[in-house]
Amino acid sequence: VLSGCGVYDGTEIHEASAILVHLSRGGAEVQMYAPDVPQMHVIDHSKGQPAEAESRNVLVESARIARGKIASLARLTTADHDAVIFPGGFGAAKNLSTFAVDGKDCKVNREVERVLKDFHKAGKPIGLCCISPVLAAKVLSGAEVTVGHEEEEGGKWPYAGTAGAIKELGGKHSLFSLTPFYEAHVDTKNKVVTTPAFMCETELHNIFDGIGAMVKNVLKLTGK
């Protein structure tokens, strides 16, 4: 499930690409979806600032990553899929929810909420990375996720405050260890698998490996 195209106003592209690579390697068939709604705003990524008087559609922008093969999130059903995965990027906090603005009082896009609840009820695994675990924390009360550490540790975890928000949203936060490998956290009870990805200032291959661990565990939980 994508949220646009670009880290500051949509899907983090490296994360989406890594997920697709690991899913392909795992032999999975993939269908991509995004909500057919306007973006919260558009960011000029060369300046890191909002582009005034510009608007874009989340589905249309997500189609860039999907190479055009994408459908409206309203068409996603549990009957047709074994699992669902949400990449990160600020789009998860801006377009899939209002977390970027409202924090613990955020609202989640109704189709995103429906998908999360439907997959959870069906006992089918849900994968999330980077900032997107806030969606599960908000919608699935008591779900245990990780967004990394709860302290910045000299800038290594610049978004450490998100861990506190996870708890305020009703979720449980698991501290993440970088050793011996960059892996994923598995909430076996709720079948929710998370990894911090770009929540940490680390080398790209660590992020790629962590996403790989998340995907591997999601596929394992499908039982196929």
Catalytic residues: 130
Which residues touch 60 (CB under 8 Å, ≥6 apart)? Answer: none
> Rounded to an integer, what distance in angstroms lies between the CA atom of residue 218 and that of residue 192?
8
Short-list 34, 12, 49, CA closest to 196: 12
- Specify the 3-state DSSP secondary structure of 131: coil
Cβ burial, residue 82 (10 Å; 0-12/13-18/19+): middle
Query: The tokens 């909420």 sit on which residue?
Result: 113
- DSSP element (H, E) containing 16: helix 13-25
Q: What's the chain's length in residues?
A: 224
